[in-house]
């Protein structure tokens, strides 16, 4: 079988390694969901079988929303048209487990638009038990959620993109068809979520076409904690505890995202009890974190949570919760962020995680810390394995000399007779590489790949910009992270040179623009090709930069900080041309771009706003209410954050607005509302819309970037090299 023939984009092996499930011909639905073809490959006889629902009337292969192995068995879990199917072996017949699915309205086992976008960024909402006897799944009911409609032109006039569109394309008369998606806005009805556990250990053949005896599996609804009775809430995550099918852990959160609750649900009745809660500190909100990592016996777990450091500020750290003793210990501490818990070696009582460094939020390092269940009572400070390449990785330091941004995968030993390993990924600022290390000695065992061997010579032939990273002071003791890309023609001794400046902004709470990760992108191109000093900024509200100043007031400090930093740069870096400064951003960054242009500060000559958010009443409920609260409680905050209110202050000829008509992250309603406000204010601006393009503008990306470059070349008088 040829991978290239199938266009394989993912695979999963069965636990006995006899079968491989290939995912291919993937078509995106939303940002994190898709439909795809699946093929089962039998290693023992070199035979591959396209996966197709047996009840499907179509002769060609079925497009599925999801397919995976059923726990540690050779059974297959499949989802089609928002319903769940089961095949006990690859050669067995299908069993339909749910029949309530309704495309675009009721989702079984897959998240709806809001959940996959803001709450549960994954393609499925199913969790089979490891032994394959039970299936835990979520149902999302969007019946009460209002629908967002947008035009859909298809590949040519007269086509609607297919009658089976998951977004419900409909056509009326000779006009282009429209599509719709259930899109909750602040203060409006949210999706209703239910969590079910289904016993499939003794499932008999269920033929939903009416032939044969139907025996539905026994299923039980898992109830949220009583404190959530009578109010809206989110299902954040769920999962099985241990290797059997006797306990489930569920994380719930209030709609205002200021209280999260961990529930334990135990077989056979599946009654749930609250075991832990996290309440947002005053003036903050809670972020949806990954599912807690449980010890095999289920007596304790690890989770990421906000921990106070110093007088007021909070950073994400690891908490260890012991259920039997009701004891909580904080394992990591300091003014840095833990980004991911990688593994918990419960036999050695060691926790491995990724985190930033104090005063170095753009770096990412591998840490290890002892958990509090160790017999040795001495406190064990977290050890940074990759920081400064000291004693721990001394023997392999030559491989990682230009690495300060790491990723890692950790595999603890399964018993006392096996060795544990971890894979260390160098992600930058140098060229990427990866190697396997022993957990006990940290000795490098094998290099998996090293792109320096193929890419270093080619990169040395290119005229690439020079990177400069530094900090700029901000109010209240915070420090903005700044990265400059200096063009190849820049020289320290060129004191009288005047380079145009292009600033990339984001500003979204928790975002991160300035990192040590290796990347060559449009900013690299603009600096090299157009002799531009390209500037990236992370200000208050960015990851590890505090969130309190944005709570209940969007469009304030994260906008003002951009101006503060730029004024500082223009004052202290004499080679920057103060008359040729541009700004651009995408999504939230597009919002910030337009806000700074309407600030009357006259720092920027022009800006490009791609898919900007304009009116927060039109944005999704989960993100907006998390930061701004509900419109009923904080109407003033919504009005002050409204971009359309600043339209009259945007100078004519200074703005280029681009928007995809199929954008669901920031629906095109935002672009149209802002354009209407600009027009009514008499502001002359450039506006470009892209039919059938979502937030990423994937199908027209080159056209969008060329159009942006053309606008900036005219505005900033760029001289392409």
Q: What is the DSSP string of 57-79?
A: --SSPPPBSEEEE-TTSS-EEEE
> Among candidates 539, 616, 533, which has minimal Cα distance to 578?
533
Residue 88 Cα distances to 93, 213, 335, 400, 549, angstroms = 8, 17, 50, 47, 53
- Give burial (CB, 10 Å; 0-12/13-18/19+) of 477: exposed
Q: Residue 429: phi, psi to the nearest 5?
A: -75, -15
pLDDT tens digit string along 341-362?
999 999 999 999 999 999 899 9
Give the closest residue to 624 by CA, choosing from 545, 544, 543, 551: 551
* Counts for the chain of helices (H) and strands (E), in that order: 10, 39
Q: In the 8-state DSSP scheme, what is residue 215?
A: -
Please indicate, yes or no, whether the overall pTM of this predicted structure exceeds 0.75.
yes
Q: Given the structure tokens 């025996």, which residue do they identify?
A: 215
Q: What are phi and psi of 78, to 5 degrees?
A: -130, 150
State both tokens at 254.
């209030």
What kind and span of H or E run contains 651? none
pLDDT in tens, 404-441: 999 999 999 888 888 999 999 999 999 999 999 999 88
Q: For every residue of 355-398, which 3-state class applies, written as one string?
A: EEECCEEEEEEEEEEECCCCCCCCCCCCEECCHHHCCCCHHHCC
> Are 371 and 379 spatial neighbours (Cβ–Cβ below 8 Å)?
no
DSSP string, 172-206: -TTSPPEEEEE---TTSPPPEEEEEEEE-TTPPP-
**H or E, element range at 531:** none
User: For 558, what's the count of Cα atoms within 13 Å in the CB-facing half-sphere?
Assistant: 33
The residue ranges of the chain whose pLDDT is under 70 are 1-4, 56-59, 155-173, 204-216, 377-379, 495, 721
Distance separating alpha carbons of residues 704 and 689, to the nearest angstrom: 10
546's CB contacts (< 8 A; 6+ apart) are: 313, 476, 478, 540
Summarize pLDDT for 446-458 with one digit per residue, the tens: 999 999 888 888 8
Q: Cis before residue 661, ω within 30 degrees of 0?
A: no
Burial, 210: exposed, middle or buried (Cβ in 10 Å; 0-12, 13-18, 19+)?
exposed
Task: Please say whether the beta carbons of 434 and 423 come within 8 A.
Answer: yes
**3-class DSSP assignment, residue 593:** helix
Query: pLDDT value at position 390?
Result: 72
Query: In angstroms, how far apart are the furthest CA atoms of the chain?
Result: 86
Beta strands in 152-299 (DSSP E): 178-182, 192-199, 218-222, 233-240, 247-254, 259-266, 271-279, 293-294
**Strands 479-486 and 466-473, how do they pair?**
antiparallel
Give residue 243's pLDDT. 84
CB 628 within 8 A of CB 637: yes
């Amino acid at each position: 079988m040829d991978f290239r023939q199938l266009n394989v984009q993912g695979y999963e092996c069965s636990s006995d390694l006899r079968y491989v499930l290939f995912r291919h011909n993937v078509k995106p639905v939303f940002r994190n969901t898709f439909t795809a073809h699946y093929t089962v490959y039998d290693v023992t006889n070199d035979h591959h079988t396209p996966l197709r629902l047996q009840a499907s009337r179509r002769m060609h292969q079925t497009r599925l929303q999801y397919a995976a192995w059923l726990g540690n068995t050779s059974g297959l879990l499949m989802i089609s048209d928002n319903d769940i199917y089961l095949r006990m072996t690859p050669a067995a017949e299908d069993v339909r487990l749910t029949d309530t699915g309704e495309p675009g309205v009721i989702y079984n086992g897959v998240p709806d638009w809001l959940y996959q976008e803001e709450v549960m960024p994954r393609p499925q909402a199913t969790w089979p038990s490891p032994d394959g006897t039970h299936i835990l799944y979520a149902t999302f009911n969007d019946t009460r959620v209002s629908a967002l409609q947008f035009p859909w032109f298809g590949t040519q006039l007269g086509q609607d993109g297919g009658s089976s569109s998951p977004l419900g394309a409909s056509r009326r008369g000779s006009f282009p068809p429209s599509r719709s998606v259930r899109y909750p806005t602040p203060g409006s009805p949210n999706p209703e979520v239910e969590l079910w556990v289904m016993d499939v250990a003794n499932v008999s053949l269920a033929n939903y076409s009416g032939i044969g005896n139907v025996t539905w599996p026994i299923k039980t609804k898992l109830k949220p904690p009583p404190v959530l009775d009578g109010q809206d809430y989110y299902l954040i995550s769920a999962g099985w505890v241990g290797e059997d099918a006797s306990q489930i852990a569920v994380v719930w959160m209030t709609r205002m995202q200021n209280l999260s609750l961990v529930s334990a649900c135990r077989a056979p009745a599946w009654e749930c009890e609250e075991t832990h809660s996290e309440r947002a500190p005053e003036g903050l909100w809670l972020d949806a974190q990954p599912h807690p990592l449980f010890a095999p016996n289920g007596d304790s777990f690890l989770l990421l949570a906000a921990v106070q450091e110093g007088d007021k500020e909070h950073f994400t750290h690891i908490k260890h919760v012991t259920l039997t003793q009701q004891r909580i210990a904080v394992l990591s501490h300091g003014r840095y962020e833990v980004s991911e818990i990688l593994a918990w070696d419960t036999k050695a009582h060691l926790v491995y995680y990724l985190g930033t460094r104090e005063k170095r939020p753009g770096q990412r390092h591998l840490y290890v810390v002892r958990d509090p269940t160790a017999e040795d009572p001495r406190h064990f400070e977290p050890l940074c394995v990759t920081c400064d390449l000291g004693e721990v990785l001394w023997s392999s330091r030559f491989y990682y000399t230009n690495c300060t941004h790491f990723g890692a995968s950790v595999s603890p030993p399964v018993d006392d007779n096996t060795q544990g390993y971890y894979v260390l990924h160098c992600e930058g600022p140098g060229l990427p590489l990866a190697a396997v290390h022993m957990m006990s000695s940290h000795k490098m065992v094998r290099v998996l790949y090293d792109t320096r061997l193929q890419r270093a010579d080619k990169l040395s032939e290119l005229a690439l910009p020079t990177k400069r990273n530094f900090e700029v002071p901000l109010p209240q003791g915070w420090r903005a992270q700044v990265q400059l890309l200096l063009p190849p023609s820049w020289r320290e001794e060129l004191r009288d040179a005047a380079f145009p400046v292009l600033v990339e902004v984001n500003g979204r709470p928790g975002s991160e623009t300035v990192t040590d990760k290796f990347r060559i992108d449009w900013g690299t191109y603009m600096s090299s090709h157009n002799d531009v000093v390209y500037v990236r900024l992370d200000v208050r509200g960015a990851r590890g930069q505090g969130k309190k100043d944005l709570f209940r007031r969007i469009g304030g400090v994260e906008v003002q900080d951009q101006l503060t930093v730029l004024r500082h740069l223009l004052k202290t870096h004499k080679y920057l041309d103060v008359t040729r400064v541009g700004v651009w951003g995408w999504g939230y960054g597009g919002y910030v771009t337009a806000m700074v242009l309407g600030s009357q500060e006259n720092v920027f000559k022009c800006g490009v706003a791609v898919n900007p958010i304009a009116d927060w009443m039109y944005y999704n409920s989960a993100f907006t209410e998390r930061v701004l609260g509900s419109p009923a409680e904080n109407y003033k905050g919504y009005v002050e954050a409204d971009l359309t209110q600043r339209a009259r202050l945007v100078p004519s000829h200074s703005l280029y607005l681009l928007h995809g008509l199929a954008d669901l992250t920031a629906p095109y309603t935002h672009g149209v509302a802002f354009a209407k406000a600009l027009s009514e204010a008499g502001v002359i601006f450039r506006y470009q819309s892209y039919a059938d393009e979502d937030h990423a503008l994937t199908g027209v990306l080159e056209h969008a970037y060329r159009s942006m470059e053309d606008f900036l070349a005219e505005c900033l008088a760029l001289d392409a090299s």
